[in-house]
Chains A and B, each alone.
Chain A
Amino acid sequence: MSEPSDGLAENDGSRFDRLPATAAEREVSGRATRESVLDFWEERYGIDPAIFADYTFWEKGSRKLWAFRGEIDSPIEIESLGITFLRTRQEHWKPTTDAVQRFGRHATQNVLTLSREAARRFVAGEDQEIEWDGDWGYLIVAHDLAGEREPLGVGLYLHGELRSQIPKGRRRELREVDTGEQ
């Protein structure tokens, strides 16, 4: 494959490459940086960058980012490293369900908390009409479970509608709660 005109290499989808710290250290065209990833979580969801202090960020596959707790040599050719974390191919970056479940409890903004019944429909993959006064776009969707807010996954909020982004393999038909609450 020829080099892009900016003189930077293309992503090699067969291996994990560690994200550069900043744009100045970037060697692969278009690759996100650690700085931009930390800024994304902080600006969009209010998650303190300190939460990610022990994590390194990686790209494998086109614009698919992974979070790994620890250090390891870059690049590395293995099947997976930590968890998938963030998709950066489109203009609006999209967190994964698993990343939101793992880190979303630290979020302070753009979190939409659903009733138990709405949460049940959300994890079944249904889109719902929901009132929401905040930003549009990818939200962290949560409900209250065992006394605290717990993130369910990512929803896309547009024009009064919350579109469930739970991947097909993660959707579940959960039983109705019969305690009468919520």
Chain B
Amino acid sequence: MDVLSRYEPLIDDFAAFRAACERPLPSVVRVNEIKATPERARTALEEEGVGYEPCEWHPGLLRLDTDHPGRTWGAFHGWVHGQEEVSALPAVVCDPEPGERVWAACAAPGGKATQLAARADDAGLVVANDRNLGRLSALRFNAERLGVTSMAVTNRDARNYSLDPFDFEEFDRALCDVPCSCEGTIRKNPDALDRWSLGYLDEIASTQEAILRRAIQATRSGGTVVYSTCTFAPEENEAVLDDVLDREDCRLVDFTCALDSRPGVTEWEGEHFDPSVQRAKRIYPHLNDTGGFFCAKLEVGG
């Protein structure tokens, strides 16, 4: 089945979208500022003869001319971490300050959670949770390699997450980078859509909604919750936001995004969503030569 053709009504220049989905992704690393400045990380690459080009919207992201970024000195030292360019967006939108408590609800393998810690100068508390124990070991490995000392790792179901182990009641911020149908990762993984089905979309959407609701409940009034997926399906994106807006005390807020994006859609297959879902951003592969992505910012109690 050709899954992506269902999005033709949503996407301008569908041919360019198609063509981008068939191209492999550039190799991108994020500089881990817990261990190195972008300048030093770039100098190390130059010493090794690895070519790079900074991503225009984010000085800490570098496109490399090697397919093996893990075999550089910078990777060994934890100065850089292989991370798809667009997946660096949600931690930038969440933007924790030093001293704040942040929940990464579905954190493994840890690219975004370690980025959250670095943005808070490794001086807040990132509670990085994942339900899957195997993926959790990858998260722990990455956090240690990147020198993240402000992270606590838990292994629970995010849908009914309990703060019992901790001596506080609420987070200041949360990042829900939820499990999804991963349509936007097709450039990295050409098999991504092999097991796609409408039934799976329904099932995963209810999981996504439960995780986002729990994040809103666990975040203080005035706090920030970021919702993201790497998929195009409105069932997993705007429809989830629409349900949560009805059921929890929160609102969608505007945010700036230096990547070229399109607003969330308010209508899909006969369903209409709350107009504020337009404040979310859809990022298509042909717009910035990245993977596909969806990102929304919510304020709790608003």
A residues with a Cβ closer than 8 A to B are 54-55, 67-70, 72-73, 76-84, 96, 98, 101-102, 123, 145-148, 150, 152, 169-170, 172-175, 177-179, 181
Contact = CB atoms under 8 A, between A and B. Distances in A.
B71 A175 contact: yes
A145 B147 contact: no
A23 to B, nearest CB: 25
B49 A177 contact: yes
Which 7 A-B residue pairs are closest in the complex by CB-CB distance? A146-B43, A102-B147, A73-B167, A80-B153, A98-B144, A69-B149, A79-B153
Given A146-B47, A175-B48, A67 B149 contact: yes
B77 A145 contact: yes
Given A70-B150, A102-B147, A145-B47, A173 B71 contact: yes
Given A102-B147, A177-B49, A72 B167 contact: yes
Interface stretch (B135-143, B247-255, B272-280): B135-143
Interface in B253-287: none
Contacts of A174: 71-73, 76
Given A73-B166, A145-B44, A179-B47, 18 more contacts: A69-B149, A69-B150, A70-B125, A72-B125, A72-B152, A80-B140, A80-B152, A82-B151, A82-B152, A83-B149, A101-B78, A101-B147, A147-B43, A148-B40, A173-B71, A174-B71, A175-B48, A181-B47
A181 B47 CA distance: 9
Interface of B: 35-36, 40-41, 43-44, 47-49, 70-73, 75-78, 122-123, 125, 136, 140-141, 143-145, 147-155, 165-167
Given A76-B165, A83-B144, A98-B147, A145 B153 contact: no
A76 B152 CA distance: 10
Contacts of B125: 70, 72
Nearest to A120: B73
Nearest to A102: B147
A155 to B, nearest CB: 15
B49 A79 contact: no
A3 B165 CA distance: 26
A172 B155 contact: no
A177 B47 contact: yes
Contacts of A96: 144
A123 B131 CA distance: 32
Nearest to A172: B76
Contacts of B143: 80, 83
B152 A172 contact: no
Nearest to B121: A69
Nearest to B125: A70
A123 B76 contact: yes
A81 B152 contact: yes
